[in-house]
A and B are shown apart, each in its own frame.
Chain A
Amino acid sequence: MAWTRARRRWAWAFALVLAALALAVPLTVARRHEPTPSGTPVNVLLEDFKVGRDAAVVPAGTVSFRILNQGPTTHEFIVVRTDRAPDKLPLQGDGLTVDEDAPGIDLLEEAEGLDIDDRQTLVLDLAAGSYVMYCNLEGHYLGGMHAALTVR
Chain B
Amino acid sequence: MRRSPSAEVVAAGATRRAAAGGRSGIGRLVPRLPILGDLRLGRRLGWVIPVLIVLVVAIVGYNARAIAQQRGSALVVNLAARQRALVERYTTDVLLVVDGFRADPEESAEDVREPVDVLLDGGSVRAPQGDGSRVEIPPARDWRVRRKLEQDRRLIDELIRTGDRLLEGGRADPSYAADVTRLRVLSAQLSSVSNDAAREITQQTEASISRLVRIEIALGLFGVLAALALGLLLRRAGAEQAAQFRSLVNNSSDLITVLAPDGRIAYQSPSVQRMLGRGAAELVGTALGDLVHPDDRDDVNSSLTKLVEAPRATDTFGCRLQHKDGSWRHVESICTNLADDPRVNGLVLNIRDVTEQAALRKSIGDLLHNLARRSQGLVDRQLELIDELERHEVDPDRLQELFRMDHLATRMRRNVENLIVLSGVEQRRRWSESVPLRDVVEAAVGEVEEYSRVQVAGIHDLTLAGQAASDVAHLVAELVENATSFSSPTTMVEVSGGPTGNGYVLEIEDHGIGMSDADLAEANRRLAEPLAADNIAGSRMMGFHVVGRLAARHGIRVQLRHHWFGGVTALVLLPAALLGSAGEHPAMTPPVPAGVMASPEPLLLANTTGSDWQPRAHLPLRRHAAPAPDRGRDADAAAEAGEPVE
Chain A residues in the interface with B (C-beta under 8 A)? 48-49, 71-74, 95-96, 115-116, 137-140, 142-143
Contacts and interface: CB of A to CB of B under 8 A. Distances in A.
Nearest to B187: A139
Contacts of A95: 184
B144 interface: yes
Given A48-B151, A116-B144, A116-B147, A73 B185 contact: no
Nearest to A138: B188
Contacts of B373: none
A7 B151 CA distance: 57
A32 to B, nearest CB: 24
Given A73-B147, A139-B190, 11 more contacts: A48-B151, A48-B193, A71-B144, A73-B148, A73-B197, A74-B148, A115-B144, A115-B200, A137-B192, A139-B188, A143-B185
Contacts of A137: 192
A138 B192 contact: yes
Interface size class, chain B: 20 to 34
A73 B193 contact: yes
A139 B144 contact: no
A142 B148 contact: no
Contacts of B196: 73-74
Nearest to B152: A73
The residue among B151, B184, B186, B192 with the most chain A CB atoms within 10 A of its own CB is B192
Contacts of A74: 148, 196, 199-200
A138 B148 CA distance: 16
Contact of A96 (B147, B151, B184, B200): B184
Contacts of B186: 139
Given A73-B192, A116-B144, A139 B185 contact: yes
Dominant SS at the A interface?
A: loop
Given A138-B189, A140-B189, A71 B184 contact: no
B151 A139 contact: no
A144 B200 CA distance: 24
A127 B89 CA distance: 46
23 contacts: A48-B189, A48-B193, A49-B189, A71-B144, A71-B147, A71-B151, A72-B150, A73-B148, A73-B151, A73-B193, A95-B184, A96-B188, A116-B144, A138-B188, A138-B192, A139-B185, A139-B186, A139-B188, A139-B190, A139-B191, A142-B185, A143-B185, A143-B189
Contacts of B199: 74
A139 B187 CA distance: 8
A132 B185 CA distance: 20
The CB with the most chain A CB atoms within 10 A, among B150, B184, B187, B189, is that of B189
The 8 A-B pairs of least Cβ separation, nearest first, read A139-B188, A139-B189, A72-B147, A138-B188, A96-B188, A142-B185, A72-B151, A137-B192
Contacts of A71: 144, 147-148, 151
Given A72-B151, A95-B184, A96-B185, A140 B144 contact: no
